[in-house]
Structure 1
């Protein structure tokens, strides 16, 4: 089989498609013939050597895939050869064939394409987990979504709109505003031309928001915290500011590290605010939680409440171009890789 290998830390040019032995089928696992797999900002940072959880290169990255069950291991029930499935895996999905524990595989709803299946798990579980389990989003609340045109951003827009009366502010470049409006963003903000914090205050009459979903990091965590209304929640789920180019910059990493704010229990108690962190990659030991949220998302897909938007479909041989597209924040929605 072929797989996309991250041969060393560096720019997109370090990615190579190589012939690789097919994974062994163990008891309790299923082997899946991959038809599409998702690419996330986490993998872009892992390629640069800035994602601590990633295996050291040479390695195959990727958290999610969609395809067909090719073989079923001993002790597996409820899945059969030929079943169209979505799979979650802690790295290794950027390959033509993967082996995955059966509990990390869910049948795809009728009508869902393989590309949509690959676009759903990481982005939508992250957004669902932040809004409903951590953020406890309520009717009538105000939410600020950073990087609103990205994969997690669009998922958050769609999911937030399933709650009546929620008002959404989203940061994105001006060229993406029309699209995110269609996806549910009430107030798009061009972060390149205005200070988004000033704009949120202007639009809310100085009151701020109830939830901030922040994948930027550093000083933006402090700006988001200061925008919170009483009982507001800042949810940090990434550190995009750490990645300043195609390769890692030690100087920028130091600059970003020293800009991380200090939140104290006493300070949060005084302001009636809270700060939470979300890293879906650290929840593999809570697979029942992840599959519960994934099942809820499948139901939302079936009833038409959510629909992944595919930015582009890129063949394995052009994986470097896919990385560059996400790195430069050109994408609107999900970048999907296909063998």
Structure 2
């Protein structure tokens, strides 16, 4: 940590006094040197914050000053003060806490893109959600249940009781059970219409096999490449080598009536207007009580390393946040 002068908002920006910042697996991969989008070190990571606006730049309506907001940040979120373009800032609904607000941009936007925008999940279909206890997993479960779908989740056995209470219909202990076998048992051999997979490698291969006809595999990460607390290029290469490169060829997809798609919210900065539409729908669902972020734990900014270890050790059920 270090002190720096308060930034001044440029034209089209607002300055946010941060109350909470989200911790995401992309931050961990960046720290390990495995995330190519991260600018060269030294850099301040962080993709999402909540707080209140205390200054506005030229061209921004003065009435934004003083508002409680949440924002998507293109890095820089691990700070107590940040300037953000106004089109990446969203007013917090009345009653939404700073902790809930900081839990929404990455996890819920990603889940919405996976399930609704690209996954096309419908009522009475079945979705398999890997890492069901993570921030995206819980967000996706809530959205899927609102749609009327059945949810199968993978998580360690210690998390099962709480995840059932959060709405997951069937749970698979990925440490002791084969998710491909168990998914076929749960679905009576049919398979699932949608899979959300941020694991990668062998998991993609098995997931593709367990898709039902017209099923879609949504890929949004590669956590299997992070096998330890230090950077391992060999681990990344080994994970990539286990990916089903030949299964995903056009002829195979056509003949199997299956689809594979990828999601990386960090490459959607040119689509902010679309994301604002997603935000409107998500914040409306929050107002209705259909979605509710679950905060696993908060850490002071000075304990950011401990927050990273908490996530990487798979100890969280829900969102991990840094707080001022």
TM-score by length of 1: 0.93
Question: In the alignment, which of 9, 27, 30 is matched to residue 43 of structure 1?
Answer: 27
In 2, the alpha carbon distance for the partners of 1:86 and 1:313 equals 17
Question: In the alignment, which of 90, 108, 116 is matched to residue 132 of structure 1?
Answer: 116
Instruction: Report matched runs for 1:305-316 at 5 Å.
Output: 305-316=290-301
1:329 corresponds to which residue?
Answer: 314
Is structure 2 residue 192 aligned with structure 1 residue 209? yes
**Matched residue of 1:56: which SS?**
coil
Question: What does the per-residue CA deviation read over 1:155-175, in whole Å, with 9 as the maximum and x for residues that have no partner?
Answer: 0000100112x1110000001
2:172 corresponds to which residue?
Answer: 189
2:160 corresponds to which residue?
Answer: 177
In 2, the alpha carbon distance for the partners of 1:260 and 1:79 equals 50
Structure 1 residues 63 and 79 mapped into 2: Cα distance closer, same or farther (>3 Å)? farther
In 2, the alpha carbon distance for the partners of 1:135 and 1:250 equals 31
Q: Which runs of 5+ in 2 are unaligned?
A: none
Q: Which runs of 5+ in 1 are unaligned?
A: 1-16
Higher deviation after alignment, 139-148 or 78-87: 78-87
Is structure 2 residue 282 aligned with structure 1 residue 297? yes
Question: In the alignment, which of 48, 61, 70 is matched to residue 86 of structure 1?
Answer: 70
**Matched residue of 1:290: which SS?**
helix
In 1, the alpha carbon distance for the partners of 2:144 and 2:162 equals 16
In 2, the alpha carbon distance for the partners of 1:19 and 1:179 equals 40
**Matched residue of 2:147: which SS?**
coil
Shift of 1:236: 0.2
In 1, the alpha carbon distance for the partners of 2:63 and 2:181 equals 52
1:59 corresponds to which residue?
Answer: 43
Is structure 2 residue 237 aligned with structure 1 residue 254? yes
Question: What does the per-residue CA deviation read over 1:6-40, in whole Å, with 9 as the maximum and x for residues that have no partner?
Answer: xxxxxxxxxxx111232231111100100111000
Structure 1 residues 318 and 52 mapped into 2: Cα distance closer, same or farther (>3 Å)? same
Return structure 1 stretches of 4+ with deviation > 4 angstroms.
none
Shift of 1:79: 4.3
In 2, the alpha carbon distance for the partners of 1:203 and 1:267 equals 26
Conservation of the 8 A alpha-carbon contact between 2:56 and 2:62: no
Cα RMSD over matched residues?
0.9
**Matched residue of 2:146: which SS?**
coil
**Matched residue of 1:38: which SS?**
strand
Conservation of the 8 A alpha-carbon contact between 1:72 and 1:79: no
In 1, the alpha carbon distance for the partners of 2:62 and 2:87 equals 10
1:218 corresponds to which residue?
Answer: 201
